[in-house]
Structure 1
Amino acid sequence: MSLLLNLLWFVLGGWIMAIQWFIGGLILAITIIGLPFVPGIWRIAMFSAFPFGQELIDSPKGRGGSVFSGLLNIFWLIFAGIWIAISHALAGIVLFITIIGIPFGFAHFKLAGAALMPVGKEIVPKPLKTR
């Protein structure tokens, strides 16, 4: 099911979102201040291309640098994260108007959460539910 949803998501606009996140990462890579944000942003770019069947978790590797990650996330939240999260949340609300758009609305809400604090996160496959 997640393969079908990912294909529909990618064809109907997920690729545009992924390119926007990737270009944003390239722009930040040019600056010295924005360079620490680039790996997290590119992870979200891949996540925004194929959000179904995956989840964003705190990285176990990031525990040693958690203070640095926390400071970067606060800086990101103030200057960019809140605005990106609001746009994803609004898109999710609009998609909830139609029955077909509900899964895509949930994906936008997932991306809104990812946009708030991208540094120190890791994308992992979502565990399969057993009946």
Structure 2
Amino acid sequence: MPVLRLIFNIAWFILGGFVMGLAWWLAGILCFISIIGIPFGRACFVIGELAFWPFGQELVNRRQLTGHEDIGTGAFGMVGNIIWFLLFGIWLAIGHLVHALACFITIIGIPFGIQHIKLALLSLTPIGQKVIAKAY
């Protein structure tokens, strides 16, 4: 299904993925302004790429993927997610939810709305997640 995935990704990019990908990258640039925000900024660019082309990729908790806890999946990850939520997460989530509602208005936009909902949930707590290619 690589052709169908490509068609969905192109339609996604035109119908909101471009705007939200840029929003993620803007958040990444703002994070890079401070030294302590660099790990957040790096994650923003990775997730921004996912926001540009989400079909064929999925999110997995790193603890489930590796089988052990790391700095992003433990207590520091929780603190980081709280800081992220307060500074950027809520705004990115709202952006994705607005795009999801616009997509849900039409029947053909439902798959795109579902992807926006997934990205809105990721926007709230991105630390400790990993983007991987889907296994078909």
TM-score normalised by L of structure 1: 0.85
- 2-side partners of 1:120 and 1:87: how far apart? 22
Deviation >3 Å, runs of 4+: none
Aligned length: 128
Give the letter for the 1:69 counterpart.
G
Alignment map for 1:91-102 (pairs within 5 Å) = 91-102=99-110
- What is the CA–CA distance in structure 1 between the aligned matches of 2:85 and 2:16, rounded to whole Å? 25
CA deviations on 1:9-54 (whole Å, 9 max, x unpaired) are 1233422322221122012101133223112211110110101121
Q: For residue 25 of structure 2, what is the aligned residue in structure 1?
A: 22
What is the identity percentage for the equivalent residue pairs of Structure 1 and Structure 2? Answer: 40
Q: CA RMSD in A?
A: 1.9
What SS does structure 1 have at the residue aligned with 2:24?
helix
Distance in 2 separating the partners of 1:11 and 1:82: 23
1:72 equivalenced with 2:80 (yes/no) = yes
**Which stretches in structure 1 are left out of the alignment for 5+ residues?**
none
- 2:13 matched residue in structure 1: 10
**Cα distance in 2 for residues equivalent to 1:98 and 1:21:** 25
Which amino acid in structure 1 is aligned with residue 15 of structure 2? L
User: Equivalents in 2 of 1:17, 1:83: separation in Å?
Assistant: 11
The C-alpha deviation readout for 1:37-85, integer Å capped at 9, x for no partner, is: 1122111101101011211111246822122222101111123212321
1:14–1:117 distance in 2 versus 1, CA, 3 Å: same
State the distance in 2 between where 1:54 and 1:20 align.
Answer: 19
TM-score (norm 2): 0.82
2:95 to 87, 103, 108: 87
Structure 2 residue runs without a partner (length 5+): none
Letter in 2 for 1:47: L
